[in-house]
Amino acid sequence: MSDIPSFPYSHLWEEREIVSVANLTRRDGLEFFRLAPQIGIHMHTTAYTLRQANQALDDLRSGRVEGAAVLLP
């Protein structure tokens, strides 16, 4: 991994800290998806065609999307 490049503090929108995310392997993901139903994790997605991308953004901004918005090519 490379070092995190420096940048002006103003680019953080006045956030107080930067934290890294975990690097997970494909195996970690597969294990998680096998475990998720057993522990009660439920995914909610709303699918949009690529032509509906602007509608998806509008729905996200207005809070009309439950879970994740997914663009389908």
The pLDDT-based confidence of 71 (bands split at 50, 70, 90) is very high
| 4 part of a folded domain | no
| 3 part of a folded domain | no
| 20 part of a folded domain | yes
The pLDDT-based confidence of 15 (bands split at 50, 70, 90) is low
| 1 part of a folded domain | no
pTM of the predicted protein model:
0.50
Closest Cα partner for 70 from 33, 61, 52?
A: 52
Are the C-beta atoms of 62 and 69 separated by less than 8 Å? no
CB-based burial, 45-67: b 16+ in 10 Å, e otherwise: eeebeeeeeeebeebeeeeebee
Rounded Cα–Cα distance for residues 67 and 47 (Å): 11
Tens of pLDDT, residue by residue over 28-66, are 989 988 999 999 988 899 999 999 999 999 999 999 998
| 13 part of a folded domain | yes
| 33 part of a folded domain | yes
| 64 part of a folded domain | yes
| 30 part of a folded domain | yes
The pLDDT-based confidence of 17 (bands split at 50, 70, 90) is low
Q: Give the count of domains, the chain.
A: 1
Range of the domain at 51: 9-72
Phi first, then psi, for residue 69 (nearest 5°) are -90, 135
